[in-house]
Structure 1
Amino acid sequence: MARIHYSDPSKASDRTREILDKNRHANIFRMMAHSPSYFEQYCRLGGAIRHKGELDPIVRELAITRTGILCEAPYEIVAHKRIGKNVGVTDEQNEALANWQAATCFDETQRAALAFTDEIVRLKKPTDATFKAIAPRLTPAALVELQLSVGFYIMTSKFLETFEIDLQPVTEVVG
């Protein structure tokens, strides 16, 4: 059960209700809607990360799901395994993310991106070796997008866990 109550859409502004409707009133968004201005900007950046960049969506979703795993955020993991599947992440890849280093289902770019993700989450920054392994595989824009995606979903995972956001049925989860 969430640590504080979810916002009441009937008391929200038209704009907040519009954003909640667009996002199917998912629990994460109902919690975030307590701060309408932050909520709107969060959704704007999240939309850019998921729909406007040049980073390969499979690499993006592998990195986001791995971030959820490392941050121990089940809501994020469930949501982004589903989203990943919709953009081409295989069931084998989703299942292997917890121990990706031992898996053979990831290509070299995906492996470099996962190592980069692990170090962003676990260290203050990626090591030079890890950075040098991913940088030639992505454009500068895609590399920036990968880092911002991981950072954004660290924040999202911590938000989910701080407020103990309730999981929703798989058909309803959005994140």
Structure 2
Amino acid sequence: MLLRPGLGMPLQELGAAIRYQGALTAREREIAILAVAASTASEFEAWAHERVAAAIGLEPAEIAAIADGTFGGHDARERCCCELAGRLARRGSLDDAAFREATAVLGPADLSELVALVGYHATLALVLDVFDVGVPADPEAGRRH
């Protein structure tokens, strides 16, 4: 994105819209992002968003369960966001039954938002992978005091 600011800036704007203008709760959003990170094996995405998830109140056991695919969630929406985000990141689509279930749980507008979130974070994971962006050697790097 640094190499093509004309593309990077609009992508950043999309990320900001997903984060600040969407209707998914902060928990739902971070659960979905961590599920994308796990499904794409994006170490940097996982590293970065585990910190965000902890800051908004996800417990370490919940974060670990998302990473290993055993997340049970507090409610049906959180479970749906986790399962659906992982499935979309792995397969890129939903079958009819999964679509009907997701629409029943999230509603069409929030499902649309979740699909955009998954696409955005899968794109970031791809860029991070291609350019071999790993986690910082210093785990405190980038942390503001």
TM-score clears 0.5: yes
1:41 aligns with 2:10: yes
CA separation of 1:124/1:39 partners in 2, compared to 1, >3 Å: closer, same or farther?
A: closer
Q: Deviations over 1:56-86 (max 9, x none)?
A: 2211111111111111110000111111222
1:172 aligns with 2:142: yes
| Number of the residue aligned with 1:87 | 56
Question: Alpha-carbon deviation of 1:105?
Answer: 4.2
SS at match of 1:111: helix
Q: Does the CA-based 8 Å contact 1:115-1:130 persist in structure 2?
A: no
Q: How does 1:135-154 map to 2 (within 5 A)?
A: 135-154=103-122
Q: Does the CA-based 8 Å contact 2:35-2:82 persist in structure 1?
A: yes
Which one of 126, 133, 149 corresponds to residue 101 of structure 2? 133
Paired residue total: 141
Structure having the higher Rg: 1
Q: Does the CA-based 8 Å contact 2:38-2:68 persist in structure 1?
A: no
Q: Deviations over 1:133-156 (max 9, x none)?
A: 221222432211101001111110
Which one of 26, 30, 33 corresponds to residue 61 of structure 1? 30
Which one of 39, 44, 51 corresponds to residue 75 of structure 1? 44
Q: Which runs of 5+ in 1 are unaligned?
A: 1-31
Which one of 47, 67, 90 corresponds to residue 98 of structure 1? 67
Structure-1 separation of matches of 2:34 and 2:26: 12
Which one of 108, 112, 117 corresponds to residue 76 of structure 2? 108
CA separation of 1:68/1:170 partners in 2, compared to 1, >3 Å: closer, same or farther?
A: farther
Identity of aligned residues (%): 26
Q: Please tell me the root mean square deviation across aligned C-alpha atoms, in Å.
A: 1.8
